[in-house]
A and B are shown apart, each in its own frame.
Chain A
Amino acid sequence: MSSFGNRKFIKPVFILSILGVILLAITSLFLGTANIRFPDVFRILLSYLPGLKGRIPLDGISDSTISIVIKLRLPRVILALLSGAGLAAVGSTMQSLFRNPMAEPGLLGISSGAGLGATIAIVIGFGDSIFGLGTTAIAAFIGALVTVLIVYNISRTGSRLSQTVLILAGIAISFMNSAVIQLLMIFRRDRMDYIMMWTMGSFSTAGWNKIFILLPFLVIGLTLIFIHTRHLNVISTGEETAKSLGIEVERTKKILLAVCSVVTAATVATSGIIGFVGLIIPHVLRLLVGSDQKSLMPFSVVGGAAFLVICDTLARIVAPPAEIPVGAITAVFGSPFFIALLIRSKRSVM
């Protein structure tokens, strides 16, 4: 792969891509169904910068316009950035951990578990919310973690985790969860639409509360992942090799699986099931920057964030006033791009 020769360019490219994401996020703030003039958005954003508060005149801009930019678009863009970063980092971690390019955040039944939790909450219809999160989100979080714990315990023999059993148990439990979700939908046809919309994922109800709930999970999770990138590299070349190179493989695996589960659960709980990001973003970037997690991981984080911001912006603007679930967009726009890259990389190998 030619990219190895460009090792020294990786840092500048990374800095450029961070700038790119920031630019993308800002651009996204200018777009939406509401027809707001660009200079107005600009003035509103400037007025909210620390130090400039109150110094930028906002006359002629209605309160609802300010609300749209600050209370709707801004939290939405931030939540999309965070979710994308988290899901892509988790996907990248799991691919290395399982030495399997098909691994993704939903692999261990996390998404389906969250879906089942949410479905039960939707069907029962609790009323209250805790910490500003709806009961659906909390049930989804619990459902995700319970599923992972079940999968984990099935595949544990002594202190060792069997890779194959872990994946198979994850798939089996996913099927079971989906089946239960479908059964519940049949019996509560009246709630079916809510369940379906939830499972497709959306940032439309993004708010600062959700951001503040997701943020700590993400910060701690990503920190732990970044601490382990070197070990992740070694594990991705084989578990026995990793052990003979002085890595406590079982412990590292457990830590990283726990991190992946919690970050995914938190993301799914706040925004629903958003597929594809965790699978293709690390994969695409692997084709571009190579498999070394020391560079792949930061690029995955940035790439995932950028991808979800783009997808969510599309979700908002392609079919106004309807909103398209962002999960549908990620697949519809992501797959052709992904397939094109696969074909290209296949050619370069042949």
Chain B
Amino acid sequence: METQGLVEVKNLNYAYGERKVLEDICATFRPGMVCGLLGPNGSGKTTLLKNMAALLEADKNTVYVNGMDIKTLAVSQLAKEISVVPQNSYIEFDFSVFDIVMMGRTPYIRRFAQESSTDVEIVQWAMKTARIEHLAERSIKSISGGELQRVIIARALAQKSNIILLDEPVSQLDISHQLSIMETVRDLAHEHGLTIVVVLHDLNLAAEFCDTLYLLKDGEIVCGGVPKEVLTYERIEQVYQIVCLVYENPVSQKPHIIPVHSR
């Protein structure tokens, strides 16, 4: 199972009605790697992520997990392969943190069965990995945004899938939460061997934490590769329509972008 978690997107086209959002997307996501999806608003990042999670359905068979077309998988089977951390995790009703993380076990618990001790163990492991053990009995309504994001990540972990898709997991958090959550996410790939696909807005965070990047513009992939290759100032200028400077971060040797002004 360790080697599982390969996601391939082959010639994906997607349109909301008449409006084309994704055009001929080809991408590969490998286990043990954090892959970032970058691009301006409306470039199709979230749509791509939702297609990979089968939350949206393209017309043709285009997304493959371990070589299997995701359309041939039952919803519950797919949930064992792919977990999603959505952009907006607002929850109307007050559940306890433990309850929410336990929901990650849904694809494994049969309809009439109770949670087993294995389920409880996995939930505890997930909470520990996401560093929210101390919140277990708290109400989901009483915790901070950063804590909520960790709870949702723990729920994704509890799904015990090999692939986790995260949609802007840190965009609404302060800088310390941004770093600590991204560190947790990186550990999931590097130490637990998961395939991580993460949509990000912050180019510097992406450069710092992602092993590979895809840069999207108007529904097409402009370029893909390691951060150093992708995040050149010409390309950023072209995609985001801004003037910027690109330095090398002296600590990590990753590219560091300083926006100057818009064009």
Contact = CB atoms under 8 A, between A and B. Distances in A.
Nearest to A242: B106
Given A4-B137, A234-B106, A241-B84, A247 B75 contact: yes
A159 to B, nearest CB: 11
B124 to A, nearest CB: 15
Interface in A248-290: 248, 286, 290
Interface in B107-126: 107, 109, 111-112
Interface residues of B, number: 36
Nearest to A228: B111
Contacts of A291: 93-95
Contact of B103 (A1, A99, A100, A245): A245
Contact of B83 (A236, A237, A238, A244): A244
Contacts of A101: 92-93
Interface in A229-243: 230-231, 233-234, 236-238, 240-241, 243
B82 interface: yes
A38 B185 CA distance: 69
A293 to B, nearest CB: 9
Contacts of A247: 75-76, 106
A235 B11 CA distance: 32
A343 interface: no
Interface string B63-98: 000000000000111111011101001011111100
A227 interface: yes
Interface residues of A, number: 27
Contacts of A245: 79, 103-104, 106-107, 159
Contacts of B138: 4
Contacts of B103: 233-234, 237, 245
A233 B107 contact: no
B139 interface: yes
A5 interface: yes
A4 B98 CA distance: 10
Given A237-B91, A290-B95, A291-B94, A243 B55 contact: yes
A76 to B, nearest CB: 35
A96 interface: yes
B80 A246 contact: yes
B213 interface: no
B112 A227 contact: yes
A243 B75 contact: yes
A292 interface: yes
B100 interface: yes
Contacts of B79: 244-246
Interface in A200-252: 227, 230-231, 233-234, 236-238, 240-241, 243-248
A96 B139 CA distance: 17
B53 interface: yes
A100 B53 contact: no
Given A5-B137, A238-B86, A240-B55, A246 B76 contact: yes
A297 to B, nearest CB: 13
A1 B98 CA distance: 13
A91 to B, nearest CB: 14
B183 to A, nearest CB: 24
A292 B99 contact: yes
A286 B106 contact: no
A1 B159 CA distance: 26
A6 to B, nearest CB: 10
Most chain B beta-carbon neighbours within 10 Å: one of A5, A96, A230, A290: A230
B100 A246 contact: no
Interface in B26-83: 50, 53-55, 75-80, 82-83
A234 B152 CA distance: 13
Contacts of A99: 92-93
Interface string B231-254: 000000000000000000000000
A244 B82 contact: yes
B93 A236 contact: yes
Given A230-B109, A244-B84, A290 B159 contact: no
A1 B139 contact: yes
A248 B93 contact: no
Q: Most chain-A CB neighbours within 10 Å: which of B79, B83, B159?
A: B79
Interface in B136-161: 137-139, 141-142, 159
A16 to B, nearest CB: 22
A26 B235 CA distance: 79
Contacts of B100: 237
B75 A238 contact: no
B213 to A, nearest CB: 24
B92 A100 contact: yes
A294 B173 CA distance: 33
A312 to B, nearest CB: 30
Nearest to A293: B93
B54 to A, nearest CB: 8
11 contacts: A1-B142, A4-B96, A230-B106, A234-B106, A236-B91, A237-B100, A240-B84, A243-B54, A246-B76, A290-B96, A292-B95
